[in-house]
Amino acid sequence: MYIAQAYKGLSETWRYILGIFAVFLCWQIIGGIPLLAALLLKADSLAVVASGDLGVMANILGSNTFLFLMLLAFAIGLLSLFLYVRFVHKQSIKQLTTSRKKVDWNRILIAFLLWAVISTVFIFIDVQLSPEDYVFNFEPMPFLILAVIAIVMIPIQTSMEEYYIRGYLMQGLGVMSKNRWLPLLVTSLLFGIMHLFNPEVEKLGYGILIFYIGTGFFLGILTLMDEGLELALGFHAANNLTAALLVTADWTAFQTNSIYRDVSDPVLGWDVLVPVFVVYPILLLIFSRKYKWTDWKTRLTGKVPPEDIFLAQHADDTIPPKHT
């Protein structure tokens, strides 16, 4: 069981409570220092920085520099999470990633390629159907720099979100509550709430949270049904990478030198609802057939075994001695 992998480390409640806040502060505060310093050196006033306008910030630093510094915060956050898990929980990164004997890189690649192809097709269909909504924005050198930054940094950004929410929090809440439905519910809602301050919410309204929370549930279901983060890691990386490289807009979180710029008035429409209510269920069906998932009720809402029972069943594993 993926959640029960937490028992292979030190899983006391206080370690998770401290870790949730410590890693979040490293991610948001320490991780934000390089971007803040760069903005303060170039901005005319603190008011520009305090405004939180991503478009203004991108104009001040240049979109590629801004993107790199914004994503650097996630790299710092991911490093802090890995260090905390390794030295405070005495848990391996493999155990935070999967219940399999080793990380299944094929799963990551399959999920990545599948969603990259689907999302790319959706984008180009929309460009063809509504050409007046898009401006061809391609500039070779800025795009090349963007591609390098995006390919290196965006998988780190998405991995931070996956490891923190559907990895660390999922396991922590699971071993504390001794069930699967509560971690699924809480992490999915939290995933939506964490996007509450994205500029998309301001432009499209709170209805866009249907997409964010729906995506959270989809990724949580992937994790619990597949007993590991691999599919969620691949999907999330593909989603953000294609968005950064193919389409940008003045009102989105990613301000990039992408191939197209969306110049339409932002409207909450079918493109928000169709993925959640049509595409995600189809993807779950595809993955369930490929990986032969069974017993959905138990995997999504069943109990997490007590620590002593799980450790007795895995007595041959290398498990550190318990101490407080």
Q: Higher confidence at residue 54 or residue 291?
A: 291
Q: What is the pLDDT of residue 323?
A: 45
Residue 221 has what DSSP assignment?
A: H
Residue range 176-212, pLDDT digits in tens: 999 999 999 999 999 999 988 888 888 888 889 999 9
How far apart, in Å, are the Cα atoms of 119 and each of 192, 244, 246?
20, 12, 10
Give the pLDDT mean for 158-179: 97
pLDDT over threshold 50, residue 106:
yes
Of 132, 318, 155, the closest CA to residue 242 belongs to 155
Residue 179 has what DSSP assignment?
A: B
Q: Which helix (H) or strand (E) holds 248?
A: strand 247-248
Q: Higher confidence at residue 291 or residue 319?
A: 291
Report the distance separating Cα 112 and Cα 115, nearest Å.
6
Q: Which runs of consecutive H residues, i.e. helices, occur in 26-104?
A: 33-42, 46-50, 54-61, 63-87, 93-97
Beta partners for 248? 261
pLDDT over threshold 90, residue 309:
no
pLDDT over threshold 50, residue 324:
no
Residue range 220-233, pLDDT digits in tens: 999 999 999 999 99
Would you place residue 321 in the very low, low, confident or very high pLDDT band (cuts 50, 70, 90)?
Answer: very low
Structure tokens at 194: 């964490």
Q: What is the pLDDT of residue 144?
A: 97
Q: pLDDT over 70 for what percent of the chain?
A: 94
Three-class secondary structure assignment of 118-154: HHHHHHHHHHHHCHHHEEECCCHHHHHHHHHHHHHHH
Q: Is the CB of residue 136 less than 8 Å from the CB of residue 234?
A: no
Q: Which residue type, as a one-letter code, is found at position 47?
A: A
Would you place residue 171 in the very low, low, confident or very high pLDDT band (cuts 50, 70, 90)?
Answer: very high
Structure tokens at 149: 């930054």
Q: What mean pLDDT, rounded, does the chain reach? A: 91
Of 241, 55, 62, 38, the closest CA to residue 148 belongs to 241
* Report for 161-170, 206-215, 271-280: range of highest mean pLDDT: 161-170
Residue range 31-82, pLDDT digits in tens: 999 998 998 888 766 676 676 677 778 888 889 999 999 999 999 999 999 9
Give the pLDDT mean for 258-274: 86
Q: Is the CB of residue 23 less than 8 Å from the CB of residue 80?
A: yes
Q: What is the pLDDT of residue 64?
A: 93
Q: Is the CB of residue 123 less than 8 Å from the CB of residue 246?
A: yes
Task: Report the alpha-carbon angle 9-176-92, nearest 5.
Answer: 20
Q: What is the pLDDT of residue 293?
A: 97
